[in-house]
Amino acid sequence: MILSLFLPLFLVFLVLGLPVVFGLLAAPGILLWMNGQERDLVLLYRNVFEGMNSFPLMAIPFFMLAGELMNRGGISLRIVGFAQAMVGHFRGGLAQVNVVDSMLFAGISGSAVADVSALGSIIIPQMEKKGYPRPFAAAITAASAIIGPIIPPSGIMIIYAYVMGESVAALFLAGIVPGILIGVALMITITLMANRYNLPQAMPRATWREAGAAGAAAFWPLLTPVLLMGGILTGVFTPTEAAAVTVGYSFIISLFVLKTLTLHDVPGVLIRAGLTSSVVMLLVGAAMAFKTVAALAHTPELLASTLLSLTDNPLLLLLLVNLLLFIVGMFLDAGPAIIILGPILAPIFTQLGVDPVHFAIVMVVNLTVGLLTPPMGLVLFATSAVSGLRVEVIARAVLPFLAVEFLVILLITYIPALSLTLPRLAGFLN
């Protein structure tokens, strides 16, 4: 009985400012100890270790490393330049550019935080110079950055696939259309806002020559997703191997082709990627241990019966689960939330006939959008660091975009074909 208190205790720790990784271990640990189950503390420790000791998870540090290499190699500037040539002439041009470069960068990096750091530092000052209010520039940067983990590659999807035993390739393919949909929805929102809020006039349309030059400059980086997805889909590489090959590719083009990276930069790149991935690994390990205690306390069964007692209509349940995930996303990072809730929620919906890949995408997209919601909004934190604005200011400015993204989540939820068509066409689903 006492064990069922682990979830409230975890939330209390979280709100009081305990780092998530320690909260995930302290809350169940204290209750196991109070319950006289000291021996199970060993189980907790072993689960952290075994949770991290995984080959598929290794793709995460590799994708981070590839992103860091590309970023240090000046790739971000080329991508922004290419996006400007494509959509800079639209009304609210630079805001549109901001969305398009996030969509392009999403094909290289699997992380929204990396997207903000790489692109935000370039595009926010540019937008401000053209007359956009800084909170607006920061908000659209944050809102579009969450496309990073939805369009493949995606760290969050790798975690989902690892925990739930789904195919990484199927999830990657299923994320493409929803990611593009969010981008398009944001662009339409900007167009609608442009007149109402008198957003700055567009930049002149790029000539064919300028567009060609910008495309050529971004060609090699933009080939990355082709190599990555091509390798995985043709079965040449496992996702982990594909991630390592992407690192090798990024290294070679940055060093030898673009000549924007020097060997001197490499240790710094390795250290930055290593620091970030060490935090992910620890969180994954801790969340796996937390999940074990959740199972000991019969939380999955409890939550499932509570949800099913409300209604057994899958459409209503999907709406409820979206609201639940949205609230969870306010307090928890997407990674741990997936590890803890994935095994609890997914079986309920698959039993009701929802496709596992479809449910995975609903969960991933919802929790990724949760990165924009305070108090635990990692993308808000990163945007605050890049823009110098307070988290609260960005959180307010991002609200219209957040509303649009929630509508897209509902679209993805109720039109499974949006996520399932591509994996079906590629033969990953029946």
Give dist(CA 90, CA 246) in Å, integer.
Answer: 33
Q: Say whether residue 64 binds other proteins (CB under 8 A).
A: yes
Comparison of 94 and 286: residue with beta carbon closer to other proteins: 286
Structure tokens at 367: 């929790």
Q: Which of 123, 168, 194, 283 binds other proteins (CB under 8 A)?
A: 283
Please, what is the Cα angle at 223 between 146 and 60, to 5 degrees?
A: 50
Structure tokens at 347: 């079986």
Q: Say whether residue 138 binds other proteins (CB under 8 A).
A: no
| Closest to 150 (Cα-Cα) out of 109, 100, 95, 96 | 109
Q: Say whether residue 326 binds other proteins (CB under 8 A).
A: no
Q: Considering only residues 380 through 409, tell me which ones interact with other proteins, judged by CB under 8 A.
A: 381-382, 385, 391
Cα 289 from chain centroid (whole Å): 22
Write down the least CB distance from residue 92 to other proteins, Å. Answer: 27
Q: Considering only residues 2 through 41, tell me which ones interact with other proteins, judged by CB under 8 A.
A: 13-22, 25-26, 29, 41
Show Cβ contacts of residue 75 under 8 Å, excluding neighbours closer than 6 positions.
108, 218, 221, 254, 258, 260
Cα 117 from chain centroid (whole Å): 14
Q: Which stretch binds other proteins (CB under 8 A): 51-59, 292-300, 314-322, 396-404?
A: 51-59
Write down the least CB distance from residue 313 to other proteins, Å. Answer: 32
| Closest to 163 (Cα-Cα) out of 396, 287, 318, 339 | 339
Comparison of 194 and 325: residue with beta carbon closer to other proteins: 325
Q: Which of 88, 336, 342, 423 binds other proteins (CB under 8 A)?
A: 336
Cα 76 from chain centroid (whole Å): 18
Q: Considering only residues 202 through 261, tell me which ones interact with other proteins, judged by CB under 8 A.
A: 236-237, 240-241, 244-245, 247-248
- Distances in whole angstroms, Cα of residue 309 to Cα of each of 179, 325, 336, 394: 33, 18, 26, 38
Q: Considering only residues 140 through 159, tell me which ones interact with other proteins, judged by CB under 8 A.
A: 149, 155-156, 158-159
Write down the least CB distance from residue 338 to other proteins, Å. Answer: 9
Q: Considering only residues 66 through 105, tell me which ones interact with other proteins, judged by CB under 8 A.
A: none
Give dist(CA 163, CA 171) in Å, integer.
Answer: 13
Q: Which of 84, 96, 144, 277 binds other proteins (CB under 8 A)?
A: 277
- Asked if 411 contacts 181 with a C-beta cutoff of 8 angstroms, the reply is yes
Q: Site size for other proteins, by CB under 8 A?
A: 80
Residue entry with tokens 């000549």 = 259
**How many residues are there in the chain?**
430
Q: Which of 3, 61, 78, 99 binds other proteins (CB under 8 A)?
A: 61
Q: Which of 2, 4, 53, 315 binds other proteins (CB under 8 A)?
A: 53
Q: Say whether residue 181 binds other proteins (CB under 8 A).
A: no
Q: Which of 117, 144, 387, 413 binds other proteins (CB under 8 A)?
A: 117
